[in-house]
Structures are given as C-alpha cells and as structure tokens.
C-alpha cells in the first residue's frame, strides 16, 4: 500500500503544472482528492487526465487568496469525506520587475496569492488534519525562498515569507501535534507555464523573460518535481529541494551566507558587458 492510499488530500493550484502532477500521482497512489484552483476549465482537464485512477475526487473553483472561500472549501471537503489527512499548498504566481518599476498593487497581488494563499490553506485545513493519525502540511516556497535575485523582489518576499511561516508552523506542530508533518518545498526551475502567465513590470521585455526561463532556467519536468515532493512529504522532511539548481542554491547560500548578494550582481554585470 502507498503512503497516500485511502487518505484524503487537498491540492491547491491543481489545474496546471506541479499541482496537476501532484493530483495525478496522488490519484495513482489511491488518494481521495480535493482539488482546488481558480480556473474551472483547468480543473476539468486535470480531472480528465486522472480518469479512473482515483475512486473519489471533488473539485472547488476557489481563489486561494479568498480566506472565507478556503475555509468553506475545507469544511465542505471534510463533510464530503469525513476526514482530511493532508494539504499541499502549491498555488502561486510569478512576477518580474525591479522595485522602482513595480506597482504597489503588483506587490500586493503576489503576496495575496503566494503568501496569504499558503496561510489560508494551512489555517483552513489544519483543524481537520489534526484529527488524522498521520497528517501532512506541505507548503511550496521556491529556490527564490532561499536566495534573492534582482528583478524578483515581490516574488522573493512572498517565497521567503512562506519559508518563515512554514518553519515556524513545523516547530509548533512538533510541540503541539507531532503526528502532523510539516514540509517546505523549494523548487528550482520547473518546466511549467508559470513564466507565460506571469505579470511583469512595464519596462520588462516579456518575450525575452519567457524565452530565458524556458530555455535556460526550467530544467525539471513537473512529473519529476511531483515525485520528489511526494517522497519528501512521506518522509516528513522539513526541506524538500526540487532540482539540481535548488540543491546548488541551498549549498551556495549555506556556504556564502550573505555573500551571494555580491556575486549575483557581479555576474549580471559581466553578462551584460
């Protein structure tokens, strides 16, 4: 039997990318699924791809930044299945733009989805996960939650916030509810559509950013990313690093401390010269 066999699992951002692959692989391992995304059509596609792999699944068209809707979704999931064992807070958006060019509304939007979406999902589902004999809360940060980069201040801020929130939550669970495993995921570049759906500040060359991401940064297939995340969740690992680039960044920041902040601008200047 799989670790997730017969368990009730919620996945946010299940309409595409890593969230879709988590749903497909969890279904293949016998999980009962509560799939959450703000895009009805994308959720329908995920359900279609799952097919008959999962005995039971439900979907909710919900924006993770809507606190009341997330709490209602968690309660409805519990009412439907009688238990909730895990939540994967995966939903997120990408934003590119220097601090001086980014609008306040852009910062707010990124924080609402990438940070508050994780907080909302955690707080909505945790009261039910407490009742599981072995629960999981898995929150997705980013390699940019380990290391900052110029042009990504809003995204970095949200992903660092997810890391801090999740590490604190893990400690609280070790004290209060040790049956609940809490993991923070740090993916590197994953081959998804996130760059194509990203918002960007006005001066940004959108096509150049998309091409750079897809040709130079996105190295890991979402199927592989989901496998690594599920294995890490099963093991209850505090940090789940996805991709060689994430592992390199983890080592670099551990060794150099704040020194990487001088290295990256120097590299960027060299590339432009």
Q: Which residues are catalytic?
A: 155
Q: How many CB atoms lie within 10 A of CB 107?
A: 18
- Cβ-Cβ contacts under 8 Å for 151 (sequence gap 6 or more): 96, 97, 98
Q: How many CB atoms lie within 10 A of CB 160?
A: 18
- Cβ-Cβ contacts under 8 Å for 273 (sequence gap 6 or more): none
C-alpha torsion 138→143→149→155, nearest 10: -20
Cβ 129 vs Cβ 182: under 8 Å:
no
Tokens 């609008």 belong to: 103
Q: Which residues pair with 67 in a beta bridge?
A: none
């Amino acid at each position: 039997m799989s670790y997730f066999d017969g368990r009730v699992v919620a996945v946010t951002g299940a309409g595409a990318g890593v969230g879709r692959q988590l749903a497909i692989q969890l279904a293949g391992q016998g999980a009962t699924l509560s799939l959450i995304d703000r895009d009805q059509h994308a959720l329908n596609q995920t359900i279609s791809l799952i097919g008959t792999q999962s005995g039971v699944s439900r979907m909710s068209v919900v924006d993770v930044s809507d606190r009341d809707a997330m709490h209602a979704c968690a309660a409805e999931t519990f009412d439907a299945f009688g238990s909730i064992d895990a939540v994967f807070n995966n939903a997120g958006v990408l934003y590119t733009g220097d601090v001086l060019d980014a609008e306040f509304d852009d910062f707010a939007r990124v924080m609402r989805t990438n940070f508050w979406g994780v907080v909302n999902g955690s707080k909505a589902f945790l009261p039910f996960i407490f009742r599981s004999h072995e629960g999981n809360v898995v929150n997705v940060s980013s390699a940019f939650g380990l290391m900052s980069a110029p042009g990504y201040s809003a995204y970095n801020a949200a992903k660092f916030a997810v890391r801090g929130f999740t590490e604190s939550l893990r400690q609280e669970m070790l004290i209060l509810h040790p049956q609940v495993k809490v993991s923070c995921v740090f993916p590197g570049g994953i081959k998804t559509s996130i760059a194509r759906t990203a918002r960007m500040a006005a001066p940004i060359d959108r096509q150049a950013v998309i091409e750079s991401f897809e040709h130079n940064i996105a190295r890991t297939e979402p199927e592989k990313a989901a496998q690594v995340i599920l294995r890490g969740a099963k093991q209850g690992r505090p940090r789940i690093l996805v991709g060689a680039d994430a592992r390199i960044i983890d080592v670099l920041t551990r060794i150099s401390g704040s020194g990487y902040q001088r290295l990256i601008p120097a590299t960027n200047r060299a590339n432009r010269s």
